Homo-oligomer: A and B are copies of this chain.
Amino acid sequence: MSPELSPREGPARRVASVVGLVDQRAEEYLGLHRAVPPEVLTALRTANVTNYSIYRHGDLLFSYLEYRGTDYETDMARLAADPATQRWWSTVMPMQRSLRAHPDEPWWTGLAEVFHLD
């Protein structure tokens, strides 16, 4: 048997995605992200989200994160059920414009990896 590794020592699953930024609310969005509530950061860490960055390109937001847990769907469902996360999302989502083609798709649109070098 292979030795047990804690999740954070396991291989990362890279997740990149994109969402629109509502131009009139851009400064407010940027300001909020300079002081994200600690409970929101804790919920992300509990969901095994690591090395998470968001970048802006005009009216687009790109995110990159590394998931280091063992059950991505369950961790993301738990994150979505976290009250602090729900309050945060209800604040920031009106500042975003989803690029999804259908309401059943995730709010942030996943990006295809073209290249990777470790």
Contact = CB atoms under 8 A, between A and B. Distances in A.
Interface of A: 14, 16, 18, 29-30, 33, 36, 41, 44-45, 49-57, 60-62, 64, 109, 111-118
A116 B57 contact: no
B52 A16 contact: no
Copies of this protein, total: 2
Contacts of A53: 14, 16, 64, 113, 115-117
A79 to B, nearest CB: 13
Nearest to A21: B114
B117 A55 contact: no
Contact of A55 (B51, B112, B118): B112
A8 to B, nearest CB: 11
A56 B112 CA distance: 6
Contact of A117 (B45, B113, B115, B116): B45
Given A16-B62, A44-B117, A62-B62, A111 B56 contact: yes
A54 B118 contact: no
Given A111-B57, A111-B62, A117 B16 contact: no
